[in-house]
Amino acid sequence: MDHKQPSTPDFPSRLPKVGTTIFTVMSALAAKYQAINLGQGFPDFPCDRALINKVNEAMLADLNQYPPMIGVANLRTGIAKKIGKLYGKHYNPDTEITITAGGTQGILTAILSCVGPNDEVIILEPAYDSYRPSIELAGGKAIALALQVRRDEKNQVSSYEIPWEALAKTINKKTRLIIINSPHNPTGMVWQKTDLDRLADLVKDGDALILSDEVYEHMVYDGMQHHSIASNPLLASRSFLVSSFGKTYHVTGWKVGYVAAPAALMKEFRKVHQFNVFTVNTPMQYGLAQYLDEERRYLDLPSFYQSKRDFFQAGLKKTRFKLLPCPATYFQCVDYSRLDIPEAKLTEDQFCAWLTTEKGVAAIPVSAFYEDAVESGVIRFCFAKQESTLTTGLERLQAL
């Protein structure tokens, strides 16, 4: 008799280089060492009770079966109204807006719906870590261009800029998609109107589509404005716009977002969406549809987060980190390479692990946003936290 244990056959990995995302890894490490978690981007304060009440009401009203595949009508209408008012473009809620299970699903679905084998997709690094694997699952080829890094006289990073020349050279007939992200995670860089015009100029004679990740659209500070892809007619006519209610309403765990795109793109998007998640949870959609009505709930967000940023920056100024600009998002990057401690020589990954396990503050290495872990001595903190969390984190950082 053969007593050999049955074994799982070997099979080739679709994503051989992918491990667990850095955000999950750092949150787990923070939990294990009871560190202040300024790593993964999520608020540690409660969302508005009014929003919870609206979701509760929907559940109690028995709105608990499948919603329409494309999302609850009132929510799509509300989104169309909001985009129209803020960015001046009208998307048809029936044919051009779909509710997704968060921004990340919207991104994957958009990519799967238009990228095929041998298609090139341009991404700008540092890039959110889901872009590349999503492109590879579609069979496409990610072409990464690095944001230009400006450095000061001490060779520390001071800012990031769009690599226009490289972008112009890289766009070619095989370019199916260009992924942009403004406000940018992790650097906070914001695209200006002139940047959108310049991109429009680069793509107007070809067939490249655009995926615009705008999940931090309501976190732009110092009186600056967010310039959505929707505000540029030429770009809007070839773009998927992705946004997230999790980010805007402090409910990252609900995983509800949306994608807006011209009908021709949305038609293909929905073919993938229906066999990917089919629909997104019903009561949340009804709750959000009502909550979205009141504009101040997103219009007040810049001042809400700007005061958190200012509080966090004031505390960081008492440390020996160099602060990078933070015009947007809820992320503050710092350069640690000139700290007067031996650990300043560590790689970003090692530095973050050390900071978490030995000093009790978790952060994210910016190198994780590059395919080939570019080391620039920069780490990212998330300041979407209660003042008490930030204060404890800052005290620990000030002691470094």
| Contacts with ligand GLN, residue ranges (CB under 6 A) | 21, 23, 40-41, 185
Residue given tokens 């976190």 in the structure block = 219
Residue 185 vs 232, nearer CB to ligand GLN = 185
Min CB(41)–ligand GLN separation in Å: 3
Which residue is at the shortest CB distance from ligand GLN? Answer: 41
Residue 185 vs 228, nearer CB to ligand GLN = 185
Token digits of residue 304: 């809400």
Token digits of residue 245: 């209610």
Residue 91 vs 331, nearer CB to ligand GLN = 331
Residue 245 vs 286, nearer CB to ligand GLN = 245
Count Cα neighbours of 372 within 13 Å in the Cβ-side half-sphere.
5
Min CB(131)–ligand GLN separation in Å: 12
Residue 113 vs 187, nearer CB to ligand GLN = 187
**Helix/strand/coil for 310:** helix
Min CB(102)–ligand GLN separation in Å: 8
Q: What is the dihedral of CA 84, 252, 138, 166, to 10 degrees?
A: 70
Q: Which residues of 67-84 are buried (b: 16+ CB within 10 A; e: fewer)?
A: beebbbebbbebbbbebe
Residue 157 CA to residue 149 CA, distance in Å, equals 7
Residue 74 CA to residue 299 CA, distance in Å, equals 20
Min CB(40)–ligand GLN separation in Å: 5
Min CB(187)–ligand GLN separation in Å: 12
Strand partners, 220: 328
Min CB(224)–ligand GLN separation in Å: 21
Contact 392, 36 (CB under 8 A): yes
Contact 38, 382 (CB under 8 A): yes
Residue 185 vs 282, nearer CB to ligand GLN = 185
Helix (H) or strand (E) holding 203: helix 193-203
Min CB(104)–ligand GLN separation in Å: 6
Residue 128 vs 286, nearer CB to ligand GLN = 128
Contact 287, 202 (CB under 8 A): no
Residue 200 vs 362, nearer CB to ligand GLN = 362
Min CB(211)–ligand GLN separation in Å: 16
Residue 216 CA to residue 248 CA, distance in Å, equals 7
Helix (H) or strand (E) holding 22: helix 22-32
Q: What is the DSSP string of 205-250?
A: TS--EEEEE-TTTT-B-TT-----GGGSHHHHTTEEEEEEHHHHTT
